[in-house]
Structures are given as structure tokens and as C-alpha cells.
Amino acid sequence: MIIAVVDYGLGNLYSLSNSFAQCGKEVIVTNDLQQLSESDALVLPGVGAFSDGMSRLQSLGIDKVLSSHALKDKLILGICLGMQLLLESSEEFGQHEGLGLIKGHVKYFQRINGFEKDTRVPHIGWNEIEITRETPLSADVNHRDMYFAHSLCAVTTNIDDTLAISSYGNIKFASVIGQGSVLGCQFHPEKSSVNGIMIIQNFINMVR
């Protein structure tokens, strides 16, 4: 069983790899297209701007590998920016196309109806997730706190693709999303202590 962490220049690669190691699973960290293609599952981390992330994936040819994985129903886990890149588009610093592996769009908190305008953005710190659709990824993590750091949130086209929600600024936003074998967490499991390790372990169990 090979799990590869995608190295495209944006992401907490060391801490993420260490989280898998704590679960007894060594991962490979690579941007080699053959290694990524041959992996049983991919983890797409990410911090930074959406447009930068997409341009890096495209320049390396990794966008095509991710699409191929999804077509083959191989597991993909996007984290933070990596999760947002799985969607169709983002309005961060203009309109930008995403990977389109999950139907939906990435929007600024301030542009979501009902968001309290005096709420601090970015949303940084610990927040509870509430499971809205049970999946193996969410086993035993309902109502647990995870660590977030983001200014935009995912709005899925199909409500069933929102697997967990969290509350911020008087709205509820998608904190876990998924469509088929493609999954995403808006929070950072590698920074979420024991609760985040549970997410990592659940993902490993899914790959098995």
C-alpha cells in the first residue's frame, strides 16, 4: 500500500509525513509523475493562494495525475488549500479554475449570506466539526476540535458532498467534503493533535 504526499512546493510536508508515521505508515513525498501515478492514494496538502497552487500543479503535470486517480476511484485527500483545489473554481484574487473533482466553488467568508461582517478573517484556531454524512474518514471524530487557518470556504453544489460542517461568523461552512474517492478537509489534521491523527488513521484504513 503506497500513499504519496504531493510535493508541489506548497504545504506542511514534514509535519504531515510525521503524522502518518505516528500511525505506523510511512509515506513518500514526491512530485515524480510515475511515483504519483503508481501510488494507491494521494494526499494533496497546501497553504497559500489558489491560483499559485493550480499553476504549480499544472506546470508539473500533477493535475492530470490527480484527475486520473479520481477516474480510477483511487483515494485522494486534499488538506486546506489542497481541499479547495479539488473544487471547480475559486474567487480568491479573481476567478480561477480548479481541478473540478468535486462540484462546488471556493468563496470568501465575507461574501457568504449571513456572515457577520465584524468577524475576524482569516479564521485561525481550533473549531469543532459536526459530521453531516457518515463516511469511514469521519469515524469517531464527530464534535471534535480541529485546527483551521483559512480566509475562504468551500460551497459544494450537492449538499451530500458536504460531509462535515463547522460554525464561524454566524454561518455554517463545509469543513469536510467528498465525492466518490475524492475527499477534502478544510482544517489541518497534521496540526490538530490527537483528533487530527484520528483523521489520518481513518484515511489509512480506507486505503487498506
User: Tens of pLDDT along 16-38?
Assistant: 999 999 999 999 999 999 999 99
What percent of the chain stands above pLDDT 70? Answer: 100
For residue 181, give the amino acid letter. Answer: S
Q: Which residues are catalytic?
A: 80, 188, 190
**In the predicted model, is pLDDT for residue 57 greater than 90?**
yes
User: Tens of pLDDT along 156-165?
Assistant: 999 999 999 9
Could you please state the CATH topology (level 3) that the domain comprising 3-207 is classified under. Rossmann fold (3.40.50)
Q: Which helix (H) or strand (E) holds 20?
A: helix 13-22
Average pLDDT over all residues of the chain: 97
* pTM tops 0.85: yes
Q: What is the chain's length?
A: 208
User: Tens of pLDDT along 74-127?
Assistant: 999 999 999 999 999 999 999 999 999 999 999 999 999 999 999 999 999 999
pLDDT, residue 71, reads 98
pLDDT, residue 114, reads 97
- Strands 171-179 and 162-168 turn out to be antiparallel
Place of cell 486517480: 69
Q: Where are the domains of the chain?
A: 3-207
**In the predicted model, is pLDDT for residue 6 greater than 90?**
yes
**In the predicted model, is pLDDT for residue 40 greater than 90?**
yes
Q: What is the DSSP string of 161-200?
A: GEEEEEEETTEEEEEEEEETTEEEESS-GGGSHHHHHHHH
pLDDT, residue 183, reads 98
pLDDT, residue 11, reads 82
CA–CA dist 82, 208 (Å, integer): 22
CA–CA dist 116, 166 (Å, integer): 15
